[in-house]
Structure 1
Amino acid sequence: MEKQRHGGHLIAEALKAEGTEYLFTLSGGHIAPIYDGCVDAGIRIVDFRHEQAAAHAADGWARVTLQPGVAAVTAGPGVTDAVTGIANAMYANSPMLVLSGKNPVHEFEMGSLQEMDQVALVSSITKWAKTCYDVRRLPDFVATAFRVATSGRQGPVFLDVPLDVQFNGAPPDLEMPQRYRTNAKPQGDPDLVARAAALLRKASHPIVLAGAGVRWSGAHEALAEMAHALKAPVFLNSLGRGCLSPDDPYYFSAARRFALQQADVVLALGVDWDFRLGYGTRGFSPDVQVIQVDVDSVHIGRNRPVDVGVVGDPGMVIEQLLTCGVGVKEEPHWTGEVRAEEERLTNEAKPGMESDASPVHPQRFAREIRDFLDPDAIVVGDGGDIVGISASIVQARQPGHWLDPGPFGCLGVGPSFAIAAKLAKPDKQVCLIYGDGSFGLNAMEYESAIRQKIPFVGIIGNDGAWGQIKVTQESLYGEGNAPAADLDPDTPYEKMVAGLGGYGEKVTDPNEIRPALQRAFDSGVPACINVMVDPTLMKRSSYLG
């Protein structure tokens, strides 16, 4: 007997039409028909131990592939558990669809199992959130969800489907939507682009700030072309890391503060003037002129005035600027000044990077990782101070090859991002740099990776504390007055992973980090290396600035 085509099949077929390869989830009864449809459609179901982790995986997939990730969670607590992952994606402009089950329509307002108003809950952290009540409309709702998720500044969308709607039979003549969204990218207003070009031509101390918008635009090649035309320092922010090779002569990192203090024109491409950039004012020259390019006008001029605000896709606007003749024949003396400062600061870090001390100097920890990894490795940062230090030394060489929580600052993304990255790029090394605090948030996802044979290597910089929080508490209330900030550095995290069936190793000698990494990658299973780093040498920062 031929299997009936039900609502779950319609959802799966709509996902398949979008090129969805994986459904990230945690087992739930309210979404059983969706599972059935995905199995029949050839979409692999990847399951986690917490819905937050499933949502993070969908977010991570989007960041690596530039294609929307998809998660499915059960009703009620399944949705509430996923909220953190959805919110993190929202602040990162990460396109993803979260599907949710819902109690049957005929049980609405009767106290059904896991009944709640899920759309109201997630409306503030999604671009679009709806319930579909009719099986015939499911393909249209899924199509609309993808259209909204991928338009303008991208972001998460949410669709919940009552269980009876999922089970209902699909009309045999129901057609799937076709040609329902565009990949068109908007150009900037020509007059404003011309004004921006004029500012750049007159600039004596220009710099470029390239943020996540450059990555979401897929504009890394255009960015390199602009860098070589201007011959000006380029600084990468957030998901923009990797959009210009660290081997490029116009790639800069350490000297950002120096450059911002003296720049007379800043070309800001797809950046947010948030806490990561001092809200666009702290550390900037008071007379600086700012050109801001963003696909969404809402973000132009937020927190600081701009001299020219161009609404458009960063890649398209770069091409327009180049067409306007932006560029110089000779490298400005200014660029050489910034390069000298970059070299000075890099040299300052060398003693730490070369230290043989035990416990391990955190800069040596980062250097050993950098020197071991393949040039095309994908690196995930999930932590506070240890990730901040590592990010200044371990440089992404390709777009989408550095993943961190993003502006929401959500720890615990690590294993989900690593799993998604490995599924997306199975031939590449995936290395997860952890703090010992962040490790504990979703550590059981090692079991998910082990069981489903998705290998990655996590390496913990263990300083026995929630370091960023501890330094703030002690600065406010005195040395030793930091309740809830201390962790036990002797906790055998590596043994936990080994006990789950992975590979685990503890390291106290910096000369053993690279050999341990080699053994971990050679094991072919998810691995954890627990490195004891010296907490007294951490260049700690705090959320209070």
Structure 2
Amino acid sequence: METAIANATDIKATPGAEMISGGQIVAKMLKQEGIRHIFTISGGHIVDIYNGCIDEGIEIIDVRHEQVAAHAADAYARITGLGCAVVTAGPGTTDAVTGMANAFRAESPMLLIGGNSPLKQYRMGGLQELRHTEMMTPISKFASLVMTTDRVAEMMGIAFREMYNGAPGPGFLEIPHDIMDGKVEAPKVRYPKNFRVRGAEAGPPDFLGDPHIVDEVADLLARAERPVALFGTQARTCRAHDSIDRFARHFNLPIYVNGAARGTLGRSHSHGFMQSRKTAFDNADVILLAGTPLDFRMGYGRRLNPKAKIVIMDMDYRNVGNNRDFDFGLVGNLRTIVNAMCEASSGDTANKHDPFLRMLREDEERS
């Protein structure tokens, strides 16, 4: 293994050159991405990250169990747009599995960094040695072993890029002890900067989907008698609150929410509904589903009116058409798409959707 992968500490350094460790590189990349806190519980495999965080002014939140670290990083990610947990090898990383799985299902961009025994001791029975990457692959958007110290920053850039590709999600990096503590010449380290496409205000980038389909759906909503829309977690991911408010009023249609989209419209909003969802879906002639999978909560798409036109919009192409065929499908930023629909159509100028809204409001009052 040593002949195949030379550790950074084995590379002859220039005499007098400033050196930097893998843990310090990790901290610099975290700071560059805007991380101000990490959630962790101390372990020998990951101590060097702490040194780097102290140098970079990143606060170390010491918890009592790795489960807490992972769930806290997930929550931090949902609020700020990126969270990070750092856990030690073996049981430290396996304890974080549930937090990673939760973040994966919630489309939460948290980075989990796990230590491991030295790469030089691969399959020799090192302290708490496990193949963490294989465990994390099914419950993350990206999982990888970091094999050399000089590639730590590059691998973090790859992880961040994959975590934000389409719908966001968690990433995992396994950094062995000798890679973490290994040192390279500081001036030679390349820190990726413009390595992923970013949107305004730290949100996802604007991407529209097919503009012709956007126009068709806008026209369909305006002409429908009983249109209804359901927005899921990606409404929050896309910072689409104001756009959904505009969309609801423009097309004069009822809005339902689930997941992290709860709170998108206030309780007293004229177009915000909750208890009447079944009535709406049973009677709608157009159903728009945005940023929510057709999973168990939606009866896998089987509870929708079979006569209704189905429109599915999502940041992840894998959710468009899963469990239920659609009439119109769009992959893109929900905020961008609904704003474009408002521009493409004059909306419900005749208020012909009012009878449907009244029916649903009466149904809610009876609930």
TM over 0.5: yes
Q: Give the C-alpha shift of residue 185 in structure 1.
A: 2.3
Deviation at 1:4, TM superposition (A): 5.5
Q: Report the counterpart of residue 37 of structure 2 in structure 1.
A: 22
Q: Which amino acid aligns with 2:197?
A: T
Are positions 1:120 and 2:149 aligned together?
no
Contact preservation (8 Å) 1:215, 1:239: yes
Is 1:261 the counterpart of 2:316? The answer is no
> Which amino acid is the alignment partner of residue 100 of structure 1?
G
Partner deviation per Cα, 1:273-306 (whole Å, 9 max, x = no partner): 1111121222x22211111111122111111111
The answer to whether structure 1 residue 147 and structure 2 residue 168 are counterparts is no
CA distance in 2, matches of 1:243, 1:151: 24
Aligned to 1:488: none
Aligned-partner residue type, residue 287 of structure 1: K
Name the residue aligned to 2:365. 343
What's the CA shift for 1:198? Answer: 2.4
Does the CA contact (< 8 Å) of 1:205 and 1:334 recur in 2? yes
Find the residue that maps to 2:129 and give its secondary structure.
Answer: coil
AA partner of residue 93 (structure 1): E
SS at match of 1:40: helix
Looking at structure 1, the residues matched to 321 and 358 of structure 2 have their Cα atoms a distance apart, in angstroms, of 30
Opposite residue 53 of structure 1, the aligned amino acid is V
Identity of aligned residues (%): 38
1:324 lines up with 2:340 in the alignment: no
Aligned counterparts of 1:195 and 1:3: Cα–Cα separation in 2: 60
Tell me the residue number matched to 2:99: 85
Query: What is the identity, as a one-letter code, of the residue corresponding to 1:256?
Result: R
Secondary structure class of the residue paired with 2:39: strand
The Cα shift of 1:146 comes to 0.9
Q: Are positions 1:223 and 2:237 aligned together?
A: no
Structure 1 spans left out of the alignment, 5+ residues: 346-545
Cα distance in 2 for partners of 1:171, 1:35 equals: 20
Structure 1 residue identity aligned to 2:155: F
**Residue number in structure 1 paired with 2:74:** 59
SS at match of 1:45: strand
Residue-pair matches, total: 342
Mapped contact 1:204–1:332 kept (Cα < 8 A): no
Q: Hey, what's the Cα distance between the residues in 2 that align with 1:238 and 1:76?
A: 32
Relative to the length of structure 2, the TM-score reads: 0.90
Maintained 8 Å contact 1:200/1:326? no
User: Contact 2:154/2:190 (CA < 8 Å) preserved in 1?
Assistant: no
CA contact (8 A) 1:265 1:290 kept: yes
3-state SS of the aligned residue for 1:165?
A: helix
Q: Which residue of 2 aligns with 1:290?
A: 310
Provide the rounded CA distance (Å) in 2 between the counterparts of 1:86 and 1:334.
42
What SS does structure 2 have at the residue aligned with 1:130? strand
Question: Secondary structure of 2:185's partner?
Answer: coil
- Could you report, residue by residue, the CA deviation over 1:320-368 in whole angstroms, capped at 9, with x for unpaired residues? 11111152132521111111111221xxxxxxxxxxxxxxxxxxxxxxx
Aligned amino acid, residue 256 of structure 2 = F
Q: SS state of the match for residue 98, structure 1? A: strand
Measured in 2, the distance between the counterparts of 1:281 and 1:201 equals: 25
2 CA distance for matches of 1:300 and 1:250?
25
Q: C-alpha separation between the residues in 2 aligned to 1:89 and 1:178? A: 25
Q: In structure 2, how many angstroms separate the alpha carbons of the residues matched to 1:326 and 1:186?
A: 22
Amino acid at match of 1:215: R
1:456-475 alignment to 2 at 5 Å?
none
Aligned-pair CA distance for 1:233: 0.9
Match of 1:301 among 321, 340, 343: 321
Separation in 2, partners of 1:167, 1:52? 25
- The alignment partner of 2:183 has SS state of coil
In structure 1, the residue matched to 2:193 is 178
1: CA distance between counterparts of 2:136 and 2:292? Answer: 25
2:109 to 88, 95, 118: 95
What TM-score, normalized to structure 1? 0.61
**Which of residues 47, 50, 64 is equivalent to 1:35?**
50
1:333 equivalent among 347, 355, 358: 355
Instruction: Provide Cα deviations, 1:3-45, integer angstroms capped at 9, x if missing partner.
Output: 9631111000000000001101122111000111111111111
Amino acid aligned to 2:157: A
Aligned counterparts of 1:326 and 1:291: Cα–Cα separation in 2: 19
Write out aligned runs for 1:405-424 (5 A).
none
Asked if residue 313 in structure 1 is aligned to residue 314 in structure 2, the reply is: no
Q: Counterpart in 1 of 2:302?
A: 281
Whole-angstrom CA distance in 2 between matches of 1:197 and 1:281: 24
Please identify, of 15-24 and 179-188, the stretch whose mean Cα deviation from structure 2 is larger.
179-188
List, as ranges, runs of 4+ consecutive aligned residues in structure 1 with deviation greater than 6 Å.
none
Give the AA of the match of 1:334.
Answer: F
1:13: which partner in 2?
Answer: 28
Q: Tell me, what secondary structure is at the counterpart of 1:214?
A: helix
Secondary structure (helix, strand or coil) at the match of 1:101 reads strand
State the match for 1:136 in structure 2. Answer: 150
Tell me how far apart the structure 2 counterparts of residues 344 and 17 of structure 1 sit (CA, whole Å): 53
* SS of aligned partner of 1:138: helix
> How large is the RMSD of aligned CA atoms in angstroms?
1.5
Check conservation: 2:18, 2:186, Cα contact below 8 A.
no
Letter paired with 1:74:
T
Secondary structure of the corresponding residue to residue 288 of structure 2? strand
Aligned-pair distance for 1:47? 2.1
Q: Is the 8 A contact 1:25 1:48 kept in 2?
A: yes
Distance 1:218 1:166 in 2: 36
> C-alpha separation between the residues in 2 aligned to 1:178 and 1:63?
23
Question: What residue identity is the alignment partner of 2:360?
Answer: V
* 8 A contact 1:68–1:150 mirrored in 2: no
- Measure, in 2, the Cα distance between the counterparts of 1:305 and 1:178: 40
Query: Which structure ranks higher in relative contact order (CA pairs < 8 Å, sequence separation ≥ 6)?
Result: 2
Can you give the 5+ residue segments of structure 2 that lack an aligned partner in the other structure? 1-16, 199-204
Residues 243-269 of structure 1: CA deviation (Å, up to 9, x unaligned): 122221111111111111111111111
Alignment pair present for 1:156 and 2:178 = no
Deviation of residue 109 (structure 1)? 1.3
Aligned to 2:60, which of 19, 22, 45?
A: 45
**Letter paired with 2:260:** L
Q: 2 CA distance for matches of 1:26 and 1:231?
A: 51
SS of equivalent to 1:243 = coil
Q: Determine helix, strand or coil for the equivalent of 1:176.
A: coil
